[in-house]
């Protein structure tokens, strides 16, 4: 068994969706050169980080690893 639990639930959803938004925004930014995609990219990064923070909060609440 792994020492650290894998992300699950809302934490995993935020991480995956944030990553997908960042990848799409990067592709659009490189091809369309519209400044609005920088804000979409920052929003995706914020969502991704929020997922990791949510996962960390769940890990601490349940006692964490080892």
**Model pLDDT for residues 26-42, shown as the tens digit of each residue:** 999 999 999 999 999 99
Instruction: Name the DSSP class of 63.
Output: T
pLDDT of residue 65: 58
CA dist 1 → 9, 11, 12, 64, 66 (Å): 19, 21, 19, 14, 12
Q: How far apart are CA 42 and CA 59, in angstroms?
A: 26
Total domains present in the chain:
1
The answer to whether residues 14 and 51 touch, using CB atoms and an 8 Å cutoff, is yes
* Residue 62 reports pLDDT greater than 90: no
Structure token pair of residue 49: 């980080």
**Assigned domain for 50 exists:** yes
Asked if the structure places residue 1 within a domain, the reply is no
Within a domain: 4: no
Residue 64, pLDDT score: 58
Query: Domain containing 17: what range?
Result: 9-60
pLDDT digit string (tens) for 1-60?
566 788 899 999 999 999 999 999 999 999 999 999 999 999 999 999 999 999 988 767
Q: Classify residue 3: in a domain, yes or no.
A: no
65 lies in some domain: no
């Amino acid at each position: 068994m792994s020492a650290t639990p894998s992300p699950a639930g809302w934490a995993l959803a935020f991480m995956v969706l944030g990553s997908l938004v960042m990848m799409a925004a990067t592709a659009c930014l490189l091809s369309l050169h519209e400044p609005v995609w920088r804000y979409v990219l920052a929003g995706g990064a914020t969502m991704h980080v929020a997922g990791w923070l949510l996962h960390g909060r769940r890990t601490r609440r349940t006692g964490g690893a080892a």
